[in-house]
Structure formats: C-alpha cells, structure tokens
Structure 1
C-alpha cells in the first residue's frame, strides 16, 4: 500500500466527516444569511436615499418659497418706498407753494403799505408846500379857510 492510497483514504474520510457534520449546509446557510444581510442593507440604503431625496425636494421647495417671499417683501418695500417718496415730494411741493403764496402776500402787503406811505408823504409834502405858497400870497384868514378846504378835499379823495 502506497502513500497515494492512504492519501485517498484520508481524503474520503475527511469528505465524509465534512458531509456528516453538514459543513456544506452550514456554508450555504452562512452565505444565505450574508446575502440576506446585504439585501437588507441595500434595502435600507435605498430607503435612506429615497428619504434624502424627499428631504432635498422639500428643502428645495421651501427655499423657492422663501426666495419668492423675499422677492415679494422686496417688491412691497420698493412700492412703499416709492409711495413715501411721492408723498414727500407732494408735501414738499405743497409746502413750497404755501410758503411762496405767503411770501407773495407779504410782498403785496409791503407794496401796499409802501404806496400808502408814499401817498401820505406826498400829501403831507403837498399840503405843506401849498400852505407855504398860500402863506406868502394870501392873507392869514383867507389862507386858513383855503387850507382847511383843500385838506378836506384831499382827504376825501384818498379815502
């Protein structure tokens, strides 16, 4: 009996023990369990990816809504600022118009007062000149009557 025979016998005994101990079944079962774990991990990864995609879509939608809301707020602020500018311009124009009208009234009043003062001065000067002229040419009694009549005439024309 040579060594090849004994190696073959040992191999057959080893294979028998392996089959007796159900090693191929355990290997298959172990491989099946590992495949099932991998399948579960893949399913979990797929589920997590779908959740991530949903969250991403939700955040993108919220971002778009926030951008739209910000744009609306900006537009409203621009409109309000435009209205405030328009109101300020209108109030400024009204103020300037009122101040201009008031200044024109004051100028008109000052002109009227100046004209009245000039007239009064002219009347006073004319009366004084007439009195002096009459005093030289007319006697005192006639001059006093003429003076009083002239003053009444002038005053009646001014009023």
Structure 2
C-alpha cells in the first residue's frame, strides 16, 4: 500500500472530493426539482381544496336557494288553494243568489201572469155580466115599457138631476 506525503496528493481524496462536488451539484439540482415538484403538487392540492371549498359553498347556497324555493312554492300553493277555496265559495254563493233571484223572478212572473189572467177573467166576467144585464134590461124594458111609463121615468130622472149633480 502506498502512502502519500500529503493527503491531497492521494487520488482517493480527489475521488472523494469529486464525488462530494458531484453529489452537491446533482443533489442541488435534484433537490430543486423535487422541491418544485412538491411545491407544484402542494399548489395543486391547495387549488383543489379551494375549488372544493368553493363548490361546497355553491352547493350550500344552492341547497339554501332550493329550500327557499320549495318553501316559497309551498306557500304559493297554499295561497292558491286558499284563493281557489274562496273563489269556489264566492261562485257557489253567487250561483245560489242567482238561482234564488231567478226563482224569485219566475215566481213574480208567474204571479203577474196569474194576476193578469185573473184580471182578464174578471174583465170577461164583468163584460159578459154587463152584456147579459143589458140584454135582460132591454128585454124587460121592451116588454114592460109604455109611452106613459117612459114619460114618467124621464120626468123622474130630470127631477133627480140636481141632486145627482151635487153628489
């Protein structure tokens, strides 16, 4: 085995120094690449976490909006049912009032027709009675009236005329 006077003259020393320099240069480059890869991966993970948080917030907002929409739709449905019920009651009351008014009108028309028929019948009976009375009076007068009785009847009517005019 060979011993050198100075350690720097030993080739093993220079091989070791070269190895250390090589490791430092390559290690530095590898370290920077490894750290940049890890930094990029950490950045991707941060971005994915931020995206996941944003998506979660959007989902929560959409859920709240959907719940609000469902509540509003349920309230609107209740309001529509209430209005439909009120409208049905109003239509039923209007139909009942119209039916009652129609029945009242028909009853009044029937009563008017009955009254008109009754008045017509009474008028016909009076006219027939007047015609019969006139014919009977004509017959009685024609059979029992003489010129003297006629003059006496006229004198009596003329004498009653002042009294009849005062009345």
How does the TM-score come out when normalised to structure 1?
A: 0.71
Give the aligned partner of residue 28 of structure 2. Answer: 20
Q: Which residue of 2 aligns with 1:82?
A: 92
CA root-mean-square deviation: 2.8
Compared CA separation, residues 36 and 131, structure 1 to 2 (3 A)? same
- Corresponding residue of 2:138: 128
Moved more, 17-26 or 53-62: 17-26
Q: CA deviation at 1:140?
A: 4.1
Could you tell me which runs of 5 or more consecutive residues in structure 2 were left unpaired when the two chains were aligned.
1-17, 154-167
Q: 1:126 to 1:56 in 2, by over 3 A?
A: same
How many residues are matched?
135
| 1:29 to 2:36 alignment | no
| Structure 1 gap segments, 5+ residues each | 1-8, 147-159
Q: 1:53-104 deviations in whole A, cap 9, x for unaligned?
A: 1111111111122222222222222211111111111111111111111222
Partner residue, 1:64: 74
Task: Name the CA shift for 1:18/1:31 in 2 (closer, same or farther; >3 Å).
Answer: farther
Quick check: which has more Rg, 1 or 2? 2
Provide TM-score, normalisation by structure 2: 0.68
